[in-house]
Chain A
């Protein structure tokens, strides 16, 4: 009904909110409490050095596997969201193909310690230097800058849940077949998000949210870097990269 009725009641919006919060809680991959507990567990200099000495191929493969795992949780989040599975299969794929990585990047701010500019990676918090062997310092720094700016908003878990739902349900994605259905779900999610912010006196963050182009640009940079890596190591990508990662990004 959320996709068909002309107007949504406050009760419907409240149901949608509760559904999105529950779907998010069930699929958030890492618990915030655990991330907070490990907040100051950083890699030692020796450990950072050993990551930096890894080959570019090994580091790329590791990161591709972690991104793929994170994306699988986002797919599950989408599937549990009211209305998503009522969209046609083409549009489900379009939205996930365009938005899954963007959601992963937003979710990353939970695993980011802005006080020492580190991110949770393979059991501890890592600085950008740890990723040196990937050969994409500019992209890594842009992702860290993005996580830093998002952290300054001090998102609550509920805010992340609704914000990421809105990152995913975007009726402006190209190749949608039933744009109006996506628009309707997006409008309801926007109402739900704004209603929650108003209730918590947090409307101020609306003006500080990252522009949609920012996330799109980070994802574009990631795909460009993958393209360069693939030119250098086509066999590695073909043989050892996760199939879902290749399907989405190359």
Chain B
């Protein structure tokens, strides 16, 4: 489908990259096959400036207020939030498990760090996901090159700084090829 490219409005603060927000919700009892995943994911909108981002985000429900098996995804415009996307297929993600009650604040801090280019890893960041689950919530940040250890270490250290996580928080890096193998 053809979409109009987002551009910053007059007097707005441009972002380094354009991003899209997506929402997905798993239908209970259905297998999470690639096809049903793609059918269940909806693009909410694309933005090119700080002001455009807030216009979307301010109207969105906070992750901590979602129920059921739901996810928000923030990805660079042109990258689908799927392992199979060309930008993601050689990549991986840092995974942070959060006890209930932390998701809204951590998600906001994470996306502000991405939009503001706080990670300093060139073009490596693809996007981020917050997954709302029954007992805990999961944050993940996806990058292009899973084998680039300097990049993944820098992403981890920046995450620790911007999320201000409890000291006992466990962070795990997973390549997407492993995720595909074991899913």
A binds B: no
Hey, which bits of chain B sit against chain A, CB under 8 A? none
